[in-house]
Chains A and B, each alone.
Chain A
Amino acid sequence: MEFLNYFGNVFTVYHMSLLIGGTLAGLILGALPGLSPTMAVALMIPFTFHMEPAAGLILLGAMYTATVAGGAISAILVNVPGAPANIATALDGHQLAAKGRAAEALFYCFTSSFVGGVIGILVLIFFTPPLAEFALKFGPTELFWIAILGITIIGTIGSKSVITGLLSGIIGISLSTIGANPMLGEDRFVYSEHLESGIHIVAALIGLFAIPQVLTLLEKSKDAKDEEVFELGEYSVMTSVLYNLTRIKALSIGSIIGVIVGVIPGAGGQIAGLVAYDQAKKMSKDPSKFGKGEPDGVIAAESANNAMVGPSLVPLLTLSIPGSPTAAVLLGGLLIHGLFPGPSLFTEHAEVTWTFINSLLVAQVFMLIIGLFLSQHCGWIMKVPSHFMAATIFILAVFGTYSIQTSYSDVLIMAGLGVMMYLGSKLGFSPAPVVLGIILGPIAEDNFLQGKLIGEAGDGIIPYFTSGPLNMIMIALVVLSIAYSAYSESKMRKKSLEMKGAA
């Protein structure tokens, strides 16, 4: 119960105002169609750089949890999920809105997000410390394989194609090698003065996530049509909250699935929401109601995608393997504050870590209160034109990148990476593995070189890197994640070919 010792730290005026501000901003940004939670958190990282670590992480954590819930607003009102995590919410939420019950659907969404979110954070509180203690056993080879495992999992499970996913991750690793060699200190690939300090994590995060979004928003702005925004309708908050809390089966299905999917690295909220929706439908007494405005569909999907948030941080805080793309961005946030995932988070930095985790619990309460309030006044959010959003994100991206090291080179790197990622995304490359490659690349290289020195002095490099139960488990997991994803991909290809043949 160590977390209780630091609970009071959350309740300072400064931290509470950050929580409220982060939650409100997260809900609004999440609700804007076309803005992903990952980009919102990435864009916010530079603003936390000058804050003390606990305050910065509180702001990022509040935004993470609120953007996932906020995405339900556009899913329900205009049938455009604010984030991939809200795809399942749109299935019944938009149908409820079409029946004039939009406010009711939004009340269900925030109440279920609160329940799922609290359960998820409790899992984070009780499961993280023992796993972090286990990570004490890790030496250079285990840390090397952990970094490779993280990149492999995000690259394979989180991508449509195994090869392009892995390629994205390795390209990220290659980009991370620009600059000085960690052991010998000699420069590599420094073809321009702008590359002398290598690629800063924040420049990479903002460039890879924000700039492609800017270009996509601008691309769509010319042919954008006004989406039909349904009226919110009149409905009692208390009635829907109480009704929601009686839907124990849908809440339990959503929360349990959200927790399980959250712990699986790389899976993310989209899978949690869709699996929970599917299970709630299968276990329902009348599955035919699903897709036609069934509250249980919204409740299961929303409790799942928010229950995923806490557990997605378990592998991140202990093993530096993010449970979702947004958690990968949060890893960048931890590193710029000098916090390295692992046991030291709960020993040397216990105060910062527990304050951050506790703040996530309190953020659920604010998310519920602000969400319920916003549910009654949120129609205007849908009307923000995409080119205004694009211009705002672009200026903030430039400012945020520059402010980290007051470096013009970082801005140029950010813009260059962003344009390349935009072109890459059109060809099936995804930003999350590249970012993780850039973040985990130096960790992998550092531990590889250390392990190489130890191996050379002992039985040899390959036996040193492949012996021991932990190394073998991690190598097996790397192979398994690639094999499983390749199998799923080939199955999907076969299915789509069969469908084409039938058509």
Chain B
Amino acid sequence: MTFFKVKENITAVIAVIIAIFTMSTSFIGTDAEVYLFPRIAAVIISILAASLLLRVLLNRDTEVVMTTSLINWKTLWPSLVIGIIYLICLEVVGFYVSSFVAFFAIVALYGRRHFLDPKRGMFKLGVATLFMIVLFLLFWNLLHVRTPTGFLI
């Protein structure tokens, strides 16, 4: 499928999906008076999506085929997993403890050196601890700002 190896083509398809979604959610089973403005926006989105699709269909001869993937999923997936677990734990464990773990996990897994390098690992642990102490002193002690709390802080 070379069609999906062209950035502009993917953009056009995504735009069409957004247009279909906004049109169906604004027009189907909704009150015309309440949804008037979203309906106008949905119609404009559809016109723009259609013109984007038309443009890529008419310019097939000038398209640039991508040789590499748009997104480096192999590098990104650990951070997305950490992010999801962090957001789930935020209100269960507490902001400071879960932030400390998330910060350390990110800095430990990324960077050029292997994450099991003990010397580098200690440095990363030190930075994560220092960062959390600064956050705690600043937000908890000085500014008294409320943060998500769980069974820990």
User: Which residues of chain A come closer than 8 Å to B83, judged between CB atoms?
Assistant: 394, 415
Which of A65-73, A159-167, A252-260 lies on the face that meets chain B? A159-167
- For B91-109 the 0/1 string (1 means CB < 8 A from A) is 1000100010011001100
Q: Are B87 and A412 in contact (CB under 8 A)?
A: yes
Q: Nearest chain-B residue to A187 (Cβ)?
A: B34
B79 touches A218 (CB 8 A): yes
For residue B3, CB closer than 8 A to chain A, the reply is no
Task: List, in ascending order, chain A residues with CB within 8 A of B127's CB.
Answer: 388
Inter-chain contacts of B131 with A (CB < 8 A): 392, 395
- Say yes or no: B37 contacts A170, CB within 8 Å: no
Bound Cα distance A171, B49 (Å): 11
Interchain CA distance A164-B55 in the complex, whole Å: 12
Question: Are A215 and B79 interface neighbours, CB within 8 A?
Answer: yes
Stretch of A289-297, A302-310, A423-431, A473-481 at the chain-chain interface: A423-431
Q: Are A163 and B48 in contact (CB under 8 A)?
A: yes
Known: A174-B41, A219-B71. 15 other contacts (CB 8 A): A167-B15, A174-B22, A174-B42, A181-B34, A219-B75, A221-B75, A387-B106, A387-B111, A399-B139, A402-B95, A408-B90, A412-B87, A426-B70, A427-B7, A429-B11
Q: Which residues of B contact A408 (CB under 8 A)?
A: 90-91, 148
Binary B-proximity of A32-59 (CB < 8 A = 1, otherwise 0): 0000000000000000001000000000
Cβ 8 A contact of A445, one of B37, B48, B112: B37
Chain B residues within 8 Å of chain A by Cβ, number = 58
Interface residues of A (CB under 8 A from B): 50, 163-164, 166-167, 170-171, 173-174, 177, 181, 184, 186, 188-189, 214-215, 218-219, 221-224, 385, 387-388, 390-392, 394-395, 398-399, 402-403, 406, 408, 411-412, 415, 419, 423-424, 426-429, 444-445, 448-449, 452, 497
- Chain A residues, CB < 8 A from B87: 398, 411-412, 415
Separation in Å of the A141 CB from the closest CB of chain B?
Answer: 15
Residues of B contacting A427 in the complex (Cβ-Cβ under 8 angstroms): 7, 10-11, 14, 70
Asked whether B70 lies within 8 Å of A167 as measured between CB atoms, the reply is no
